[in-house]
Structure 1
């Protein structure tokens, strides 16, 4: 019975990880009850992809309005510095810099950290459509805990199987399959339910109701993958730059 302590460790770790993930899911689900059932395209961009998605959407909007040129080389060039139509667009023009030209990877994080983007996020949090920072971090930590529990159970099960005679390995592995299955199912549900960890369940429901036919709405929901090849090439360089400041 040398495998029993290993099984108990796997059971306790998996139980704690699953309970934590369920608690965070219930807490998030309480957000957004009674929220106004409308989203602007910028709000949709934040809920689907966070501050960097808002920056991408604004850059594309300026490009299509012929106020900024996004080159396939990954550079943004200001065409009309006085043409910003709102605070966010003026922030993008300012982030490109006084020379009127800057690499897109340098512009995106500056816009993502702007006060107007934070105000957009705060408004969504107040309406219960976006996860507050503590809840978002808890959701991310819960997912990591589930992955760790799954891998730990897998390793302990393998070790336990090596500690018993070959004829007893089947029942031992069957016992370890229980916490392994629990951790795996919780991990799958967590990853499917909150892939970006920006929107609350109420926010994700509103995102799902948006029509994908509008190009800007599709960009807000799915990112630059929906753009035409020339614009995709412009952002491809940006995505090669490793920036984790605005990722879950």
Structure 2
């Protein structure tokens, strides 16, 4: 019966990690207690909608699309972006322009990463969190840490099951040992499945109040930029522009110097 000790270790890991994940998910689903007056304004701005739907990167993508639409930026399907008019109309546009560097040309992926960490994006996130519309960084990281902990517990269960089967115990059938270890494994996988379902249903950035405002946003009356804010790059109708925004770590061709 030495295998029971391994089973107890497996159960302890699963229960602790699942409790941690459930607590973090519950905190994310609760109304923002610090905001007595959750924003009751008539509608989200496009920047606010972009942040709540997809976080800092979505805000930058929306800004890039808006500036490209007005020909103040050129976004090539190869993944390079070029500044045409080096003047931003608001703090977020200025943050995007600053991400290009002095030569005014850079891979879209680099601009997106640099601008997403800009102070203007951080201030937008703070305003939404203070208004009770966005999740704080602590809440978001708590859910992510909880998911990782449950994955770790899943691996622990499998390891403990393997160790239990490796210990000679002629009095207990192998099938019975496996069945006992299947119980904590099922619990861990069920928690991961619920977390994945929650992740698909929610943006991961908006609080329940923010989700309600996103759901009620009138996309049809605000142009395709509203669709880009809520749905991301997939809502961009131009295939070339969609390709430019979808480039990940490096552009397809070298930068053309001298421009």
TM range (shorter): 0.7 to 0.9
1:160-171, aligned counterparts within 5 Å? 160-163=164-167, 164=169, 168-171=173-176
Q: Alpha carbons of 1:154 and 1:129: their partners in 2 closer, same or farther (altered >3 Å)?
A: farther
Q: Alpha carbons of 1:170 and 1:194: their partners in 2 closer, same or farther (altered >3 Å)?
A: same
**Helix, strand or coil at the partner of 1:21:** helix
Task: Structure 1 unaligned segments of length 5 or more: list them.
Answer: 242-248
Query: Is the contact between residue 17 and residue 142 of structure 1 (CA under 8 Å) also seen in structure 2?
Result: yes
User: How many residues end up aligned between the 2 structures?
Assistant: 239
CA distance in 2, matches of 1:161, 1:181: 19
**Helix, strand or coil at the partner of 1:240:** coil
Tell me which protein shows more helix as a share of its residues. 1
Aligned to 1:35: 38
Q: Encode CA deviations 1:17-40: one digit per residue, 9 max, x unaligned.
A: 111111112222223476336422
- Tell me how large the CA RMSD over aligned residues is: 2.4
TM-score, normalising length from structure 2?
A: 0.82
Query: Is the contact between residue 39 and residue 132 of structure 2 (CA under 8 Å) also seen in structure 1?
Result: no
Q: Alpha carbons of 1:17 and 1:209: their partners in 2 closer, same or farther (altered >3 Å)?
A: farther
1:1-248, aligned counterparts within 5 Å? 1-32=1-32, 35-36=38-39, 38-82=43-87, 84-163=88-167, 164=169, 168-194=173-199, 197-210=204-217, 213=220, 214-227=223-236, 228-237=238-247, 239-241=248-250
TM-score, normalising length from structure 1?
A: 0.85
**Helix, strand or coil at the partner of 1:16:** helix
**Helix, strand or coil at the partner of 1:77:** strand
Aligned to 1:246: none
CA distance in 2, matches of 1:150, 1:200: 29
